């Protein structure tokens, strides 16, 4: 794996590290994109105790991962926007780490936090001349997120063990999802996710509503609206704008149950947000809508199962990505949905696309 590196100390040890710290305190999609790298690191250091340091919301998800042994909450650090509002003013006492891995962005601020661990070896991205970590790689803005973190794992000698992202779901959560959606029938279950933390990344709720109605007309689809408790007003607007009925699950699931709901869908249409990576983890076919953010960096790697619509690429689209997303036509999104909903019989397996080994991965 090609890796631009500028380092002032070699990544080496007389014995494999016994305690490894990994830091990332971002959002759902960011964390899911690290899971291939976490798997690689676990494969390279099977006997090490791996501690993940992150935001409190991530504790449940990290606990599901067989690649991580321990979770510690991120206490905050000056200059890191994701610091909790009640961040401690005192410097915490960290366990002794042999290796610390910084997975929180380009490192301009976060390398200072990781350096405070005083680990024997440390690795992360950073600017030229960075000396707070022992090994520093160059940040490439357009690099696909899972491949970015695999490049970092490669710097510690960890070889990839697959490119797929992970979100383990329990049988109890699957049962809850089935109860919420109802028993399967011959009509496809299609999810619409209208939320995103950044409003500029949201396709209009009215457009989602028109899409939902047309999918019902065309496929007699059961429409399922997903979202957090904070997104209930968005899904309510969508539901009220639809002529056909929809199952509104916003605020009715925790994170694991949301993943279980997505895993039962035949198709998910979503903005560029963490839920798109949940669909990737559960191998649920999806349409991901992009405007101000770039699919080269954030789209799922599997481009047969997950279809990308970049609103900025359509003829006459506004130059501004957010405006282009607002202008994206329902017809264009519907066409992508129908292409996934009606795949050629030679490649379909029930309502799903072929298994991963047959998938064309984006480079």
Q: What is the pLDDT of residues 277-288, one digit of tens each?
A: 999 999 999 999
Task: Examine the domain organization and report whether 226 and 340 are in the same domain.
Answer: yes
Q: What are phi and psi of 277, to 5 degrees?
A: -80, -25
If asked whether residues 196 and 285 sit together in one domain, one would say: yes
Percent pLDDT > 70 in the chain is 88
Q: Is the same domain home to 176 and 289?
A: yes
Q: Tell me how far CA of residue 200 lies from CA of 27, 81, 110, 296, 322, in angstroms.
A: 17, 19, 26, 18, 5
Residues 254 and 295 in one domain: yes
The answer as to whether 119 is a domain residue is yes
Buried b (16+ CB within 10 A) or exposed e, 276-292: bbbbbbbbbbbbbbbbb
Residues 6+ apart with CB under 8 A from 313: none
How many other C-beta atoms lie within 10 A of the C-beta of residue 136? 27
11 in a structural domain: no
Spatial strand order of the sheet with 222-225 comes to 247-248, 222-225, 189-193, 267-271, 286-290, 306-310
Which pLDDT belongs to residue 361? 41
Report pLDDT digits (tens) over 115-133: 999 999 999 999 989 999 9
Confidence band for 357, pLDDT divided at 50, 70 and 90: very low
Tell me how far apart the alpha carbons of residues 24 and 71 are, in angstroms, rounded to a whole number: 11
Residue 250 CB coordination number (10 Å): 23
For the record, the structure tokens of 17 come out as 């590290």
Please tell me the predicted confidence (pLDDT) of residue 356. 39
- The tens digit of pLDDT for each residue in 171-192 reads 999 999 999 999 888 899 999 9
Do 293 and 318 have their domain in common? yes
Q: Tens of pLDDT along 55-92?
A: 999 999 999 999 999 999 999 999 999 999 876 666 67
Beta strands in 273-358 (DSSP E): 286-290, 306-310
Helix (H), strand (E) at residue 136: strand 135-137
Task: Give me the pLDDT at residue 88, please.
Answer: 63
241 and 105, same structural domain? Answer: no
Supply the range of the domain harboring residue 90. Answer: 19-154
**Is position 3 within any domain?**
no
> In this structure, what CATH number is given to the domain that contains residue 52?
3.40.50.2000
pLDDT score for 14: 60
Q: What is the pLDDT of residues 5-33, one digit of tens each?
A: 444 444 565 679 999 999 999 999 999 99
pLDDT exceeds cutoff 50 at 344 = no
Q: Say if residue 228 is in the same domain as residue 293.
A: yes
> Is 4 part of a structural domain of the chain?
no
Tokens of 353: 């696309």
| C-alpha to C-alpha distance for 241 and 322, rounded to whole angstroms | 22
- Do 144 and 181 have their domain in common? no
Q: Say which residues have a Cβ less than 8 Å from residue 354's Cβ, sequence separation at least 6.
A: 304, 347
Residues 116 and 191 reside in one and the same domain: no
pLDDT value at 359 more than 90:
no
Query: Half-sphere exposure of residue 55, counting CA atoms within 13 Å on the CB side?
Result: 16
Q: Does the pLDDT value for residue 328 go beyond 50? A: yes
Residue 7 falls inside a structural domain:
no
- In terms of domains, do 343 and 243 share one? yes
Task: Write down the pTM of the prediction.
Answer: 0.90
């Amino acid at each position: 794996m090609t890796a631009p590196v500028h380092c002032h100390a070699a990544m080496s040890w007389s014995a494999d590290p016994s305690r490894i710290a990994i830091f990332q305190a971002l959002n759902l999609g960011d964390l899911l994109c690290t899971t291939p790298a976490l798997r690689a690191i676990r494969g390279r250091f099977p006997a090490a105790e791996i501690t993940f340091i992150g935001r409190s919301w991530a504790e449940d998800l990290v606990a599901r991962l067989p690649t991580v042994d321990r979770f510690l909450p991120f206490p905050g650090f000056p200059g890191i926007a994701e610091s909790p509002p009640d961040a401690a003013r005192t410097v915490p006492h960290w366990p002794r780490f042999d290796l610390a891995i910084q997975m929180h962005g380009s490192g301009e601020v976060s390398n200072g936090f990781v350096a405070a661990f005083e680990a024997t070896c440390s690795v992360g991205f950073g600017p030229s001349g960075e000396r707070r970590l022992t090994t520093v790689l160059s940040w490439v803005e357009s690099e696909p997120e899972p491949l970015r973190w695999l490049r970092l794992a490669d710097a510690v000698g960890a070889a990839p063990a697959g490119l797929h992202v992970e979100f383990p779901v329990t049988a109890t959560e699957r049962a809850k999802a089935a109860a919420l959606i109802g028993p399967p029938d011959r009509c496809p279950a299609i999810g619409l996710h209208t939320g995103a933390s950044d409003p500029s990344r949201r396709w209009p709720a009215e457009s989602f509503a028109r899409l939902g109605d047309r999918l019902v007309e065309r496929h007699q689809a059961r429409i399922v609206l997903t979202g957090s408790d904070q997104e209930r007003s968005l899904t309510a607007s969508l539901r009220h704008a639809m002529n056909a009925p929809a199952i509104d699950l916003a605020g009715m699931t925790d994170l694991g149950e949301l993943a279980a709901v997505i895993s039962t869908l035949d198709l998910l249409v979503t903005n560029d947000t963490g839920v798109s990576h949940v669909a990737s983890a559960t191998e649920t076919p999806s349409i991901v809508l992009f405007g101000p953010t770039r699919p080269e960096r954030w789209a799922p790697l599997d481009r047969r199962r997950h279809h990308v619509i970049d609103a900025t690429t359509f003829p006459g689209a506004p130059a501004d990505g957010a405006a282009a997303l607002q202008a994206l036509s329902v017809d264009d999104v519907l066409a992508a949905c129908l292409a996934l909903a009606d795949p050629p019989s030679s490649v379909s397996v029930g309502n799903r696309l072929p298994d991963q080994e047959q998938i064309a991965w984006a480079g």
